[in-house]
């Protein structure tokens, strides 16, 4: 039987409880064996200002995922000397793990900008997507974008089992996935803002992450 793996990429600046919950929910809903958390060392679409060094973000990621054996940190993009593009990462993972079935997990905010991604059409035709709605009003926009690419979207949530999960989903395939949680409101930007004004962040990050942030005085300025 093939190993089914979700790919969740991000700067994780810092990794927070919403990221963890998302991986756990998607893994269960789509019957995945594991979820790779792919750290974007040098994200091409984000300005460098405010992003702490990759090695510190990696340290936080590794530490917090130690408690979740099905959630695995992945440093594939950290090993590249230049900017990392999603399409290149996906191709490299298929080469490394030819027997795996991959799903690319994206928040709706990021997915709505997919037409700015490198070789986005190739990517849509290479790997099934799971688009997680961060806001309910994104649903119509995502559906319209997906249909505009000639793909029929599948609507599902944490209560309605997505189709094709018992077999290998074939790209192009886009699942639009929603679930209800207070943690959907958490963002790394919000955490950085709170740290800067010395507000508590215990409800947003795990204790392992908070300890590293305090040790290196991350995001305080």
Instruction: For residue range 172-198, list pLDDT tens digits in order.
Output: 999 999 998 999 889 999 999 999 999
Predicted confidence band of residue 163 (pLDDT cuts 50, 70, 90)? low
Q: What are phi and psi of 5, to 5 degrees?
A: -130, 130
171-to-11, 104, 107, 143, 168 alpha-carbon distances in Å:
26, 11, 18, 16, 10
- Please give the average per-residue pLDDT across 23-27, as a whole number: 97
Q: What is the pTM of this model?
A: 0.94
Q: Does 109 have pLDDT greater than 90?
A: yes
Q: Does 47 have pLDDT greater than 70?
A: no
40 in Cβ contact with 84 (< 8 Å): yes
Mean pLDDT in the chain? 92
Domain ranges of the chain: 4-180
The CATH class given to the 4-180 domain equals alpha beta
Q: What are phi and psi of 29, to 5 degrees?
A: -65, -35
- The pLDDT assigned to 167 comes to 53
- Please give the average per-residue pLDDT across 102-121, as a whole number: 96
- Please give the average per-residue pLDDT across 43-64, as a whole number: 85
Predicted confidence band of residue 83 (pLDDT cuts 50, 70, 90)? confident
- The pLDDT assigned to 82 comes to 76
Say which residues have a Cβ less than 8 Å from residue 165's Cβ, sequence separation at least 6: 29, 30, 31
pLDDT in tens, 118-147: 999 999 999 999 999 988 889 999 999 999
Residues 25 and 57: their CA atoms lie apart, in Å, by 23
């Amino acid at each position: 039987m093939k190993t089914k793996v979700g790919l969740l990429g991000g700067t994780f600046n810092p990794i927070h409880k919403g990221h963890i919950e998302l991986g756990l929910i998607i893994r269960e809903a789509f019957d995945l064996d594991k979820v790779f958390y792919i750290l974007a060392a040098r994200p091409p679409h984000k300005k460098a200002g405010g992003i702490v060094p990759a090695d510190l973000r990696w340290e936080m990621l590794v530490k917090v995922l130690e408690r979740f054996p099905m959630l695995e940190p992945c440093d594939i993009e950290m090993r590249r000397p230049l900017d990392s593009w999603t399409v290149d990462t996906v191709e490299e993972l298929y080469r490394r793990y030819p027997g795996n079935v991959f799903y690319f997990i994206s928040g709706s905010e990021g997915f709505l900008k997919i037409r700015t991604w490198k070789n986005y059409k190739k990517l849509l035709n290479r790997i099934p997507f799971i688009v997680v709605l961060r806001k309910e009003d994104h649903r119509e926009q995502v559906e319209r974008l997906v249909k505009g690419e000639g793909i029929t979207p599948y609507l599902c949530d944490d209560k309605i089992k997505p189709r094709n999960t018992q077999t290998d989903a074939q790209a192009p395939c886009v699942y639009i996935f929603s679930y209800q949680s207070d943690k959907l409101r958490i963002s790394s930007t919000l955490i950085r803002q709170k740290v800067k004004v010395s507000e508590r962040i215990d409800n947003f990050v795990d204790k392992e992450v908070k300890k590293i942030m305090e040790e290196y005085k991350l995001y305080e300025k």
